[in-house]
Amino acid sequence: MVLRWRKALIAGGAAVAATGSLYVSVPAARAQTLPAGCVETGARVTCRYAFTGSAQQFMVPPKVTFLIVDLIGAAGGHGCRDSIGIGGDGGKGAQLKGYVILPPNPTGRVVDVYVGGKGGAAETSINGRSCNPVLNGGYNGGGGGGFTAFGGNAGGAGGGASDIRTGRALADRVAVAAGGGGGAGGGFQVYGGEGGNGGASGHPGSTGQASSEGGFPGGHGGQGATPAAPGAGGISSGQCAGQPGFPGILGHGGAGAGVVYPSDGRVVFTESGCGGRGPAPGGLGTGGGGTGGGGGGGVYGGGGGGWGDKPNGGTIFKQAGGGGGGGGSSFIDNPNGSTITSGVATDDGNGRVTITYNIPR
């Protein structure tokens, strides 16, 4: 018997060809496997990205024209805590929630995801009296902590920002959640300043505690960044008053005072024995007292904290606490319906990025 195909029906997700009372079912194509870290719930897919220390990629499916995003910047590390002084806590990051709008693309596109790394804490070294320096800030823009060669307590590094980009350049960022500033090193039996939180505009780091003898002032905290400008470095005290913390720059927090690395990476000592200046990782100075915390990363980075050095001729008892690093600033290309919350941290202090999209119909 010869059968003629009359019509095709779609039933139950399968293609069904029909003629008279004879039905031939053709199985539907298997749904595309979701990438690792992605979960389908109803009509939505949610993908979560944790810190890895390198750029990650998200494949935007065809016909998806907007993404629902939730980003958290990384926290800053604490300053040195040893038998001499008590380092300040690092600041927390910012949380950004909003919508990233994408032009229609029939073949889909790739966006890059950068998850900020927590700023390193200045941990006690083997002799129990000084801390190992944290030269490099948290991944994706944190500033390095300051440290000294002789008796000064190291500052913690700033936390890196979390962001989403349509390319690899800073100018390609479409959503940024800022990192927090690093905590400063303490002076002799006094506290270092705390790092400022990341936010829409970053919060400034706090000033270090005055010295236990003589009440000499501590280093000032670095200023928080705004969406349009970086934070200035905090003013230093004592014999290093002329060497403030490093200012932030586009996408990167400034290093805490006590650093002397210029942009070419050479180590340079000034005649006064205080740290030099320049946008770079944390570096080496030769004074005492608590050194500044690194600024947090963001659209613009927060400023590094100032040095809490002793006055000329002063004893160890006159060493003051350093200033905390300022927090970075946040941004989203489409501000409609977005929220930015300051002072948010994940359990491990690293950043986090969550992307959700509606499944195209």
How many distinct structural domains can be found in the chain? 2
Do 99 and 18 share a structural domain? no
Do 152 and 64 share a structural domain? yes
pLDDT digits (tens, 9 = 90+) for 25-66: 434 333 567 877 899 999 999 999 999 999 999 999 999 999
- The rounded distance, in Å, linking the Cα atoms of 331 and 310 is 39
Do 15 and 106 share a structural domain? no
Do 320 and 272 share a structural domain? yes
Do 150 and 127 share a structural domain? yes
Tokens of 130: 């000084």
Do 88 and 26 share a structural domain? no
Do 127 and 24 share a structural domain? no
Do 56 and 1 share a structural domain? no
| Residue % of the chain over a pLDDT of 90 | 57
Do 20 and 74 share a structural domain? no
pLDDT score of 11 more than 70: no
Do 291 and 201 share a structural domain? yes
pLDDT digits (tens, 9 = 90+) for 150-190: 545 889 999 999 999 999 999 999 999 999 999 999 988 89
pLDDT digits (tens, 9 = 90+) for 102-139: 988 888 899 999 999 999 999 877 566 668 788 889 99
3-state secondary structure the chain: CCCCCCEEEEECCEEEEEECCEEEEECCCCCCCCCCCEEEECCEEEEEECCCCCCEEEEECCCCCEEEEEEECCCCCCCCECCCCECCCCCCEEEEEEEEECCCCCCCEEEEEECCCCCCCCCECCCCCCECCCCCCCCCCCCCCCEECCCCECCCCCCCCEEEECCCCHHHEEEEECCCCCCCCCCCCCECCCCCCCECCCCCCCCCCCCCCCCCCCCCCCCCCECCECCCCCCCEHHHCCCCCCCCEECECCCCCCCCCCCCCCCCCCCCCCCCCCCCCCCEECCCCECCCCCCCCCECCCCCCCECCCCCCCHHHCCCCCCCCCCECEECCCCCCEEEEEECCCCCCCEEEEEEECCC
Do 142 and 77 share a structural domain? yes
| Buried b or exposed e, range 33-53, using 16+ CB within 10 angstroms | eeeeebeeeeeebbbebebee
Do 2 and 106 share a structural domain? no
Task: Supply the pTM of this predicted model.
Answer: 0.84
**Structural domain boundaries, residue 361:** 39-361
| Beta strand pairing call for 147-148 and 284-285 | parallel
- The rounded distance, in Å, linking the Cα atoms of 164 and 76 is 20
Residue 148 is predicted with a pLDDT of 72
